[in-house]
Structure 1
Amino acid sequence: MKRQRVGSSLVEDVQAELREEILSGVRQPGERLLVQPLSKRLDVSLSVVREALTRLAEQGLVGSAPQLGFTVMPLSVDHLNDLTRVRIDIETMMIRRATVEGDLDWEAGVLAAHHRLAGTSPESGGAMNPAWRAAHAEFHGAVASGCASPLLQNIRAGLYDKAELYRAWAVKVSGGRDVVQEHRQICEAVLDRDADRACELMAAHVQLTTDLLLESMPDVDVP
């Protein structure tokens, strides 16, 4: 069926479709993303596919190189460790500010986002549930939104996007993890405006995702 949307809206559609294929595991880390076959399958122009892939590269989900084109970003131990350390630094900095700067609307937003997340199943068919992925992003964004710095908000959002590929793979090895309790404890500490406790919980939450994935990496095909 011919796509009806045009221009930037069409690029957004293709970007969203390819992003979901990457994060659901349909596209493997390191897999080449050939523009022409994608253009034919998605029934869009080559330029639309290139723009969508370029945007995904900006999010850290796709890599690009001269002569090689686009590939799904491979999993990297060094990159994951570095990304985790920086994410913890930024997330905890913003939580400390949020517990001081956040108002009642911020508290209500955190509570509503947590309620939605708690009511959504993380897995669907052995892969991460897209609805849970959206609710998870909303919750973490809501917690950080109490920080009044637009610059920090942009930095945090970029780091969160870059962690999505790792998070999608970590769900495969997180069977024994009580992620519901982790989020509930973070929510409670934030709403209590207990910055030390909230930062401790957030750091442990982010680090555990990394630790579980690192433990599994010998059994994962990591280019």
Structure 2
Amino acid sequence: MARGAGQQTRSEVVQDRIRADILGGRLRPGRRLKFPELSEQYGVSTGAVREALLKLVAKNLVSSEAHHGFQVTDVTARGLADLTDTRTEIESLTLSRAISEGGLAWQARVLAAHHTFEQTPRGDGDQPSEDWLIAHADFHTALLAGCANPRLRDLAASLREEAELYRRWSRPTPEETQRWTDEAVHKEHRDLLAAVMARDGERADAVLRRMISSTSGMVLDTEPHA
């Protein structure tokens, strides 16, 4: 996730702040992102804002169209279906490569990230806390870090970032509610961890695909949850 501010450029700092505001629901899907407004809000130059937005385009959190400028990526039912399908294939491939190529240091990183995730409270609101989201993302990043192909890792990461945007503006259907309890979520992640530690690619693939497919049981919600 984000590095310490002392190690970051201004564009990286503002990138993290815009990202947090998007995933926190303060910048809504479809909202136009204007340089002067963002420059004043975050106290940086328009050049730093432009650079930050371009990086967020690569993460699929911001979109850009000729003559229309930048906007927060919109969320649609079709977009969610396409994203889920693409994530399933890309993350499955990347995890398979990680299991085959990752060494002991990679396994240790996965174990540490999972421990942090398990010990991080989800929070009291309908939406997970920022700390929980970071720990969750760090665990999945660690899982894929064993893959030696950086292009696959980067592509999987960008798709997961967009999935977090959909998570912020979605809620489970009544039928899917039981799959989203804290206990159920932790069990799925433990199952995935066990398969990865055993280097059981087939089992890990099945668990991962089940986890990702659960997002297809979400209903888009135009109102913030928190």
Query: Which category of TM-score, normalised to the shorter sequence, fits these structures?
Result: 0.7 to 0.9
Quick one: structure 1 residues 104 and 73, their matched pair in 2 at CA, closer, same or farther if it must change by over 3 Å?
same
Tell me the CA shift for residue 74 of structure 1.
0.7
Q: What is the CA-CA distance between 1:121 and the residue it aligns to? A: 2.3
Given candidates 187, 207, 211, the residue that maps to 1:205 is 211
Structure 2 match to 1:220 = 222
- Compared CA separation, residues 111 and 68, structure 1 to 2 (3 A): same
TM-score normalised to structure 1 length: 0.84
- Matched residue SS, 2:9: helix
1:38 aligns with 2:38: yes
Alpha-carbon contact 1:24-1:127 (below 8 Å) kept: no
Are the counterparts in 2 of residues 25 and 127 from structure 1 also a CA contact under 8 Å?
Answer: no
Q: In the alignment, what sits opposite 1:185?
A: 191
TM-score with structure 2 length normalisation? 0.83
Contact 2:14 2:49 in 1 (8 A): yes
Residues 169 and 222 in structure 2, CA contact (< 8 A), matched pair in contact too: no
The CA deviation string for residues 42-87 of structure 1, in whole angstroms up to 9 with x for no partner, is 2222222222222212211112223332211110222222221121
Amino acid at match of 1:12: E
- Out of 50-59 and 177-186, give the one that drifted further: 50-59
Question: Cα distance, 1:185 vs. partner?
Answer: 0.9
20-29 vs 35-44, greater mean Cα deviation: 35-44
1:52 and 1:145 mapped to 2: Cα distance?
24
Q: Report matched runs for 1:130-209 at 5 Å.
A: 130-170=130-170, 172-173=171-172, 176=178, 177=180, 178-209=184-215
Aligned to 1:22: 22
Which SS does the other structure have where 1:128 is aligned?
Answer: coil
Q: Structure 1's 150 and 42: CA in aligned 2 closer, same or farther, altered over 3 A?
A: closer
Which letter does structure 2 place at the counterpart of 1:157?
A: A
- 1: CA distance, partners of 2:99 / 2:36: 49
Counterpart CA distance in 2 for 1:64 and 1:124 is 35
| Residues 154, 112 of structure 1: alpha-carbon distance in 2 compared, 3 angstrom cutoff | same
Residues of 1 paired with 2:40 and 2:191: CA distance?
47
Task: For residue 15 of structure 1, give the secondary structure of its aligned residue in structure 2.
Answer: helix
Identity level (%): 38
Flag the 1:188–1:160 CA change in 2: closer, same or farther, 3 A.
Answer: same
Unaligned runs of 5+ in 1: none
In structure 2, distance between residues paired with 1:42 and 1:102: 39
